[in-house]
Amino acid sequence: DQQVKQNSPSLSVQEGRISILNCDYTNSMFDYFLWYKKYPAEGPTFLISISSIKDKNEDGRFTVFLNKSAKHLSLHIVPSQPGDSAVYFCAATIKNSGGSNYKLTFGKGTLLTVNP
Amino acid sequence: NAGVTQTPKFRILKIGQSMTLQCTQDMNHNYMYWYRQDPGMGLKLIYYSVGAGITDKGEVPNGYNVSRSTTEDFPLRLELAAPSQTSVYFCAGSPPRNSGANYGYTFGSGTRLTVV
């Protein structure tokens, strides 16, 4: 049972336009969400995160929106650049579980291609 | 600052062989993780550790073993390699949840393993 779903395996956009990557989750206990970016032959790198107490977090060209009622989050990249071409993973965790560690549950990823 | 280092980068094993995937971090992270990524799939947690001497199973632990004798090292052992273990393996480290950090993992660059 997939708790974090990225239903679009791929997305193609033109340079300078907006890229919107979507993610849905089923576990209502998740309270912290992260986006990772992965280039071929490299490990994923942390991009941006958002706590469930917020509905938006912005970092430069990257903005993550969270809609808790819909159990949906999205990553917006504006403007998109060719160097943004990569696989983007959505991840979720229960940060306030009371334990001393946390585990991330990942989606399958979306391959973003930004065309010059 | 090397971060999280994985060796080897590539390996081909024959069915039934054994090997150890090495992972070393110099970030003084208490928490370390092993994930595998199959084509078109997200990252699935194999094992994790919250500190030296403490390990626990993740989502897909069968066929693997781990140890954590030091904070820096978290090797993953495959005892009897099977074709189903063909995958890309990622090691990651993270700070404690109360450290004030963004809770993002730092990943290694991965080990691509093929079992034939």
Burial class (CB in 10 A: 0-12, 13-18, 19+), B91: buried
- Using the beta-carbon criterion (under 8 Å), do B90 and A34 form an inter-chain contact? no
Does residue B76 surpass a pLDDT of 60? yes
Q: Which of A8, A94, A103, A111 to mutate to test the interface with B (most CBs of B within 10 A)?
A: A103
pLDDT in tens, chain A (116 residues): 789 999 999 999 999 999 999 999 999 999 899 999 999 989 999 999 999 999 999 999 999 999 999 999 999 999 999 999 999 999 998 876 655 457 889 999 999 999 99
Q: According to the model, what pLDDT value does residue B101 have?
A: 56
CA A57/CA B7 separation, integer angstroms: 36
CA A10/CA A7 separation, integer angstroms: 9
Residues in CB range of B99: below 8 A, 6 or more apart: none
Residues in CB range of A114: below 8 A, 6 or more apart: A12, A13, A14, A15, A19, A80, A81, A82, A83, A84, A85
